[in-house]
Structure formats: structure tokens, C-alpha cells
Amino acid sequence: MKRREFLKKAAIGVAGITLPLAALEIVNPRKMFAGKDDGAKVRWVFLVDTYKCVGCGLCVKACKNENEIPYDANVTRTWVERYVFTKDGKFHADTPKGARDGFITSKIDLGQGKYEDIKSEDIQKAFFVPKLCNQCENPPCVQVCPVGATYQTPDGVVLVDRSWCIGCGYCIMGCPYGVRFFHPKYHTAEKCNFCYHRITKGLKTACVQACPFGARQIGNMKDPKDPVTKIIMTERVGILKEEYGTKPQVFYIGLDREVK
């Protein structure tokens, strides 16, 4: 063996030994293909009764305060939409500031400072629909995250790891329900997490607690005695954008075809 050749081989050998085997483990195939653990005792679900909602927006106010979402920034984890159907067959929808201050006028907010007044005698039907994260069983926002910063907890809530999020915005684009946004302060993806800090302590979410009319309820789908579970199992409830296959876990009473 020549000296040059010996040095070369020695260098390769040393490099090979230095590289620990563990560094090569990017994924563990066994874990990777592990199925979902069905032994979970908790699966958080939400129930919205649109008949009861009056559009006061106290839920939005409470949510922003509880979850430290800058109050005057035009972003919110939950919001309330207004739908007004007129007798000429048209429908109008708005959610000024996410209904943070409720709906205090019959004028529909068209955006850019324009409003459309609708006379009460022209209205055929009108109602309010609270929206929030659907905590999907198949969350597309989690699938598209390239760094594992957003994930589904064992009890079904989708969380965002602020220290790991790189702010690429794929999840914001991926969510069919438009519930995600950038947090104005942390510049990371932000979304409703069913007030995870509250529900895991046995409290109701801030919006559920703030709602004076019982339009919002949270429950555990794995508990057959839970009143919310009972309603979902025995009454007629709808979900949003079923055709996307995301299996949303926010159920609605009194959904209309124009609500998406």
C-alpha cells in the first residue's frame, strides 16, 4: 500500500467511525407507520347552535383577551358571521372585525368602508354563525407543515409550536376553513386551540363561558354521557365542507346551504 493510499483510506475510515449511527435515524419506520391509538379517553368536540346565537360577539371579545390576540389587530381565533337572505333571492354575509364588537347595525359591511343597508321588510331569513377551528380528524394544515411545528394532540386538538414554526404559511393556505393567521406579535402561525390551557384544567373555553345564550358548547366525544356527545349522536347536526374529507369536529345545529 502506498502512503497516499493509506492516508486516504484512514481518513475515510475515521470519518465513518465518527458518524454515529443514531445520526442516520431520520425516521423510525415502526413509529412512522404506527396507527392511531384508539384507546384515547378524550376527544374534544364542539357544538354550535346557530338558532341561539344573537351575534353579540362576546365570545370573540373573550377569546381575544384570553388568548392574547392583539385586540385591535384585524385577526381573531374565532369570529361570528352574519347571513342575510333577501326576498329577491340574494344573500349577504359579513363579519366586521370578526364581530369583536357584535352586530349593532342592520347595514352589511361590504369592506373598504362601504355598507349596504337592508330594510327589515326585505329580509327573508337572517342568522348568525360562529366559526372557529374545526380541530379536524384529518387536519390538512398539519399534513403540509414541513417542520412538525403543528400537530394533533392525542385528545384531538391541533396545536402550534411557536418555538418551532418557521412562518412559511403553508398551513394558513392549507386550511379550507381559513381559521389560521399569523400572530402579529410572534409572527408564527396562530389558530384556535379550544383554549387548550382551560379544557385540560376542567374549565370551559373562554368563548363557551362568555356566551350568554348557550350557543357554544364543548364536549368529550369519547364520553357517552357527555351532553354534547348525546346531542351529536342523537340530533341532526351538520359540519362544514364535508366534501374536503377533513372530518371536522365542530358540529352545527341549524346550518344553511350558503354557510361554508
Partner 1 sequence: MKNHVFRPLMVVLGLIGLVLIFRLFYVPKDFSSHENGYMYGWYRTGNIEEWKAFKVKYQGAEYCKDCHADKLESISQSPHMIIQCENCHGPAFEHPSDPEKLPIDRSRGQCLRCHAKLAYPSSGRASIRGIDPEQHNAGTECVSCHNPHKPSLEGLK
59-88 binders of partner 1 (CB under 8 A): 61-62, 65-67, 84
Can you list the positions of beta strands (E) in 17-175?
44-49, 79-86, 91-94, 107-111, 114-117, 123-131, 150-152, 158-160
**3-state SS track over 178-206:** CCCEECCCCCCEECCCCCHHHHCCCCCCH
Interface with partner 1 includes 148 (CB under 8 A)? yes
35 vs 111, beta carbon nearer partner 1: 35
Q: Which stretch binds partner 1 (CB under 8 A): 19-27, 71-79, 88-96, 232-240?
A: 19-27
Contact 169, 163 (CB under 8 A): no
Interface with partner 1 includes 13 (CB under 8 A)? no
Alpha-carbon Rg of the chain, whole angstroms? 24
Q: How far is the CB of 124 from partner 1 (least distance, A)?
A: 8
Q: How far is the CB of 61 from partner 1 (least distance, A)?
A: 8
Interface with partner 1 includes 132 (CB under 8 A)? no
102 vs 219, beta carbon nearer partner 1: 102
For 182-200, b where at least 16 C-beta lie within 10 A, e where not — what string? bbeeeebbbbbbbbbebbe
Site for partner 1 (CB under 8 A): which residue of 31, 114, 236, 257?
31
142 vs 228, beta carbon nearer partner 1: 142
Site for partner 1 (CB under 8 A): which residue of 198, 249, 250, 255?
198
Residue 166, Cα to own-chain centre: how many angstroms?
19
Question: Between β-strands 150-152 and 158-160, what pairing exists: parallel, antiparallel or unpaired?
Answer: antiparallel
Site for partner 1 (CB under 8 A): which residue of 6, 71, 213, 244?
213
**Phi and psi, residue 176, nearest 5°:** -70, -15
Give the separation between CA 16 and CA 189, rounded to whole angstroms: 40
233 vs 244, beta carbon nearer partner 1: 244
Q: How far is the CB of 257 from partner 1 (least distance, A)?
A: 14
Interface with partner 1 includes 244 (CB under 8 A)? no
What is the enclosing helix (H) or strand (E) of 144? Answer: helix 140-144
Q: Which stretch binds partner 1 (CB under 8 A): 96-104, 171-179, 220-228, 243-251?
A: 96-104
7 vs 19, beta carbon nearer partner 1: 19
Contact 221, 34 (CB under 8 A): no
